[in-house]
Structure 1
């Protein structure tokens, strides 16, 4: 799992970072399915956490489980540096959201190369909410990569409704569409929505994090059954 290291927002003193539930919900889906999960971030160490994701109304069951999980908390506090991660060592990669990826992972060449390495090796890539911003760096490495891709991501409507459309460098849905992707979203904002396009799985918002992880697990299981995945 690749996490953001960015905490600043534009035109405000408010902070961002990893949206905690978008990390913990998928993390425990993977753990409970028997996978070993390693964590990395652009800068390594403990990633910033979006304060809003720790408010009572946004706390999920997996958040509470995480608070009592010393192993997971230690892993979160000591993430690997992104440029030390090799696709050859893993079966899949998952990018949680929080607004941070709009700044760092969207512009990180190592992240873009890593995404392409996974896909070129026949290994799945999943991202949720603002995590799909990481795909922008893959597009930069391989122009045309996003053309025709069917994705989901945090919508322009949702960005406006959470009141942060003036605090981000661009609207993610608009940016992905400008790069040629078709962004599909739930009919009603903030409902879960996941899209699968080949080896690429994307989820729209925090409620989509767990379902996106389940879709990734199903894809990995299908690979294992067909003998593609080791």
Structure 2
């Protein structure tokens, strides 16, 4: 049986009070897709369903990245016709792993999304891997273990760092700083690469459920997250 991975994209397309366009970040879907697509079955969901917006800056920044450009040209159906999270929730048992693509969008619509939190909690309780890259780990902040404690309490995690956010001058546009909040909720277990924009993938275990929590710090970490998902699935 081919394992099934549920991929969640943001539906949010405006960057805070700036009014600038945002969404999910191209290499954080394209690069894991490259690793996963011929080994697992992928289903794509988003809060609103339908088309999930790709962050325009990521298309421009990665115009010389062959994997990203091939993905843009050939895989458009993946993000233009996504399932609605509330529709996918009753089907959670069909899937073997859950993966959240980053971009600034998730900070606004997935941090507190009830269907997303229910999905994460369902996967964790069933001891299925939950993965997220860059800003994607924001989805873990409010997820609970069966006891009601934070799912990632005491779990090593990473995610987009404060220095990285500062370097692209978007800290003021964010609803919160991801590094700070991940550090708070985990009890100081946030880790990051030695230098901003360095690759960092962390595989931790949720204390209460024993489920695998996979996080990547930034776009450069996206391929590693895809590989970690395969490893967690025994592939």
TM, length-normalised to structure 2? 0.88
Q: Tell me, yes or no, if the aligned pair for 2:132 and 2:214 is still in contact at 8 Å.
A: yes
Q: Tell me, yes or no, if the aligned pair for 1:11 and 1:166 is still in contact at 8 Å.
A: no
Q: Counterparts of 1:1-230 in structure 2 under 5 Å?
A: 1-32=7-38, 34-57=39-62, 60-69=65-74, 72-85=75-88, 86-139=91-144, 142-181=148-187, 182-198=189-205, 199-221=212-234
Name stretches of at least 5 consecutive residues in structure 2 with no aligned partner. 1-6, 206-211
Q: Distance in 1 between matches of 2:144 and 2:105?
A: 18
Deviation per CA, 1:79-117: give whole Å up to 9, x if none. Answer: 000112232011101101001111111010111111111
Q: Distance in 2 between matches of 1:93 and 1:210?
A: 16
Could you list the runs of 4 or more consecutive aligned residues of structure 1 that deviate by over 6 angstroms after TM superposition? none
Q: Give 1:60 deviation, angstroms.
A: 2.7
User: What secondary structure is seen at the aligned counterpart in 1 of 2:30?
Assistant: helix
Name stretches of at least 5 consecutive residues in structure 1 with no aligned partner. 223-230
The number of residues matched between the two structures is 219
Q: Distance in 2 between matches of 1:149 and 1:60?
A: 33
Using a 3 Å threshold, how does the CA distance of structure 1 residues 140 and 48 change in structure 2: closer, same or farther? farther
Q: Distance in 1 between matches of 2:82 and 2:61?
A: 26
Q: Distance in 2 between matches of 1:167 and 1:174?
A: 15
Q: What is the alpha-carbon root mean square deviation over aligned residues?
A: 1.7
Q: Give 1:28 deviation, angstroms.
A: 1.9
Using a 3 Å threshold, how does the CA distance of structure 1 residues 58 and 95 change in structure 2: closer, same or farther? farther
Deviation per CA, 1:101-153: give whole Å up to 9, x if none. Answer: 11111010111111111111111010000000111231499333222111010
Q: Larger % of strand: which?
A: 2
TM, length-normalised to structure 1? 0.90
1:225 is aligned to none
Q: Tell me, yes or no, if the aligned pair for 2:27 and 2:62 is still in contact at 8 Å.
A: no
Q: Tell me, yes or no, if the aligned pair for 2:133 and 2:221 is still in contact at 8 Å.
A: yes
Q: Distance in 2 between matches of 1:149 and 1:131?
A: 16
